[in-house]
Structure 1
Amino acid sequence: MELSRRKFLTGLAAATGVGALAPAEAVLARPARTIVKTATATRTGEYLYLSFYVPSDANRVAVKLTKSNPETKVGVGLFDWRGAEYQSPGFRGVYGEESSEFHVARGSASRSFTPGPIRRGRWTVIVPVFRAPGPTKIRVEITLTFGPERGTVRPPNEVGVVNEAPGWYTGDLHCHTTQSSDAFASGTALTPEGWADVARSIGLDLVSLTDHQVVKQNSYLKEAAGTGVLLL
């Protein structure tokens, strides 16, 4: 009797403890793989670009940065397969000094990073050097996990409306949230909900969030604002 592929995989799953009803991809997915990239930060204001290859069956990219000199101040960000040029649509996000680890996947991503498809191709970690008192070894660990992509990307919300009638409105057009590294430096790191609460407490109608190169939070501004305040 011919043994079908489905029956074979089901039997293999049971034998390996995965479970008789486990999908085939749970059995066939290969182990995670870590890629290590290194570079040397030598001067303030430079950008280090560390490229790596993502195969077609990857479903998550996680990045961790370490440095040999704690006095050196750097950020860490990511471009996907669409390129690492200035204003590339492949820009997925960047951290300043507030964190040195992040991940992106189809349906999830770390704060300040944009979830979306994980496609085959050359990806790039970018390391902006904010302060370099001396040559500093930069080490980046990139961990790829494999299997089918899961989750859906959340569509952007429509912007809310404070008042349908014409008139004069008051607002602050330059505010940073916890998604901007300089908000941590200035001690004004508030969430979008936090800025909405501040605006209501002092009588503002709107607040414009001007985070650096970060758009992930835009999908949540309408619900974060609550009532009586417009977040832009």
Structure 2
Amino acid sequence: MCNDEHAQHAMDRRGLFVTGAAAALTLGTVSFAHAAPNSDAQTGQSDGQTEVVRGTLPPGSPDFVYLPVEVPRGVREIHVAYTYERPAVPAGTQGNALDIGIFDERGTELGGEGFRGWSGGARTEFFIRADEATPGYIPGPVRAGTWSIALGPYTVSPQGLAYEVTITLRYGAPGRTSKPVYPPERAKGRGRAWYRGDCHLHSWYSDGKRTPAEIAALARGAGLDFINSSEHNTHAAHRAWEGQWGDDLLVLTGEEVTTRNGHVVALGTDPGTFIDWRYRARDNRFGHFAREIRRSGGLVVPAHPHATCIGCNWKFGFGEADAVEVWNGAYTPDDEVSLQSWDNTLVASVRSGKRWTPAMGNSDAHRHPDPVGTPQTVVLADELSREAILDGIRAGRSYVAESSAVSLSFSAAGGRGRHAGIGERLRVDADDPVTVRLEVSGAPNCSARIVTDQGVLHTAALPASGTGTVEWGTTASYAAYVRAEVRHAPVVPGLPGPLAAFTNPVFLGS
């Protein structure tokens, strides 16, 4: 048993370093015997060896604390368990929350190859073997060298964060690591069509409670054509979808990159791609990893940018964003703030002539009763493939609906047969008449709104059946863009009702 003295003075500057990312602290190394204990004659396996590390992290600790573990040869499994104290704190004061993960002998370098798994605060223990690992962790050989248990003091109480980490090495012949089977990049689809998807979902491979099989079944039940695997800070689930895809369901792979200054969905990255998260906005590293997402074929999508949970509010700016998640889960006031903030960026793009950022919506479903596909992004794509779906989202050829029951058609038409749909530009002269048309189905007792760079310029109640058409006339000089919203009746008098659906814009003018 080892009682790590470094942990008792955790902020000793000799152990503190900055790597161009968040500050981190390295504790004293845990060492094991360099020879395996006597093993069972029949199985070739031993009970293993255990060391325990205890310490206390004070308020203001670095974002990441690394506990090095010297792993000798002959180890077939590493098992880690941890606990920490949760003392009572006054109302309004943050208590203790401690995340955990691990890096192998290849090191903890930011963006390096050493990452072997992360469970955040969702688990109290994990193991890694060549043939299997705890969900959220990457199976593979337990090679000799210095491994690093990563502790993430998310919040620390005024009393400090007292922790205990138990490391067990089990010896014996290593198992065989199977080659991962990843989802195909194309499903049968319906040719050029509108496809429905939910790109922000969590299984038990991070802090969700559902299996990939359960999520796939719920996705089909919600009328979805595609989903995206987006576990917090790990790509371990990419190999977990075997048998869940089909002609009717495209499974994309990605990650929810969960930093201390906001979350970003890496959408549709190459299978097996890991995107690092160990930095804050002040570290000036996000641009590098946003480019890593795009180099791996994915999209950069800031998630729930105005969420109120600690570390969830987006602080990296939107210069690197390919799209933004405006609507996350059940519609709440922070979604309304995100919607209005996004609309402001449309005005800025018109003024500057720079690229605009499309909006999307996802469920962020974790567990029962979180509904998968509420909301969902409906994308016009040439086929049901990774490339075509991502192209549609990137171009803004999409709208967001609360369920598969809601369908929209939105367009603008000018003279001489000119026509533009969602995400496109209607090229007309400034004073040419423009007719905006919205067709809605599946939205009973809702109202439709036409929104421009001036704000809401037209509102109409939909028939009780929820199916109806709204038309409105304008010019490019009066409206730089038009977009549509479908809303339920207000819950709070004087405030707009929750969204049932909304579209990306149609821009007007040459």
Normalised-by-shorter TM-score class? 0.7 to 0.9
| Displacement after TM superposition at 1:53 (Å) | 0.2
Bigger helix fraction: 1
Q: Call closer, same or farther: CA 1:198–1:158 in 2, change over 3 Å.
A: closer
2: CA distance, partners of 1:126 / 1:119:
18
Deviates more, 1:46-55 or 1:221-230: 221-230
Aligned with 2:126 (options 96, 102, 106): 102
Q: Is the 8 A contact 1:79 1:91 kept in 2?
A: yes
Aligned with 1:175 (options 198, 201, 211): 201
Q: Is the 8 A contact 1:154 1:219 kept in 2?
A: no
* Matches for 1:1-232 after TM superposition, within 5 Å: 22=42, 26=44, 31-43=47-59, 46-69=63-86, 71-134=95-158, 135-159=160-184, 161-163=186-188, 166-168=191-193, 169-181=195-207, 183=208, 189-226=209-246, 228-232=248-252
Count of residue pairs brought into register by the alignment: 203
Q: Is the 8 A contact 1:75 1:100 kept in 2?
A: no
Partner amino acid, structure 2, of 1:176: H
Partner amino acid, structure 2, of 1:86: L
Q: Call closer, same or farther: CA 1:40–1:88 in 2, change over 3 Å.
A: farther
Normalising by the residue count of structure 1, what TM-score does the alignment of the two structures yield? 0.78
Matched position secondary structure for 1:197: helix
Normalising by the residue count of structure 2, what TM-score does the alignment of the two structures yield? 0.37
Matched position secondary structure for 1:225: coil
Q: Is the 8 A contact 2:188 2:247 kept in 1?
A: no
Q: CA offsets per residue over residues 120-165 of structure 1, 9 Å max, x none?
A: 1000000111221131211111100112212333423342632166
Q: Which runs of 5+ in 2 are unaligned?
A: 1-39, 88-94, 253-510
Matched position secondary structure for 1:75: strand
Q: CA offsets per residue over residues 167-194 of structure 1, 9 Å max, x none?
A: 122212222222233x4xxxxx432222
Based on CA coordinates, which of the two structures has the bigger radius of gyration? 2
Q: Which runs of 5+ in 1 are unaligned?
A: 1-17, 184-188
Q: Is the 8 A contact 2:103 2:148 kept in 1?
A: yes
Q: Is the 8 A contact 1:61 1:104 kept in 2?
A: yes
Partner amino acid, structure 1, of 2:196: T
Q: Is the 8 A contact 1:222 1:230 kept in 2?
A: no
Partner amino acid, structure 2, of 1:43: P
1: CA distance, partners of 2:133 / 2:223:
34
| Displacement after TM superposition at 1:90 (Å) | 1.3
Q: Is the 8 A contact 1:59 1:106 kept in 2?
A: yes
Detail structure 1 runs of 4+ shifted over 6 Å in the superposition.
none
CA RMSD of aligned residues (A): 2.3
1: CA distance, partners of 2:190 / 2:112:
39
Q: How much identity, in percent, do the aligned residues show? A: 27
Matched position secondary structure for 1:59: strand
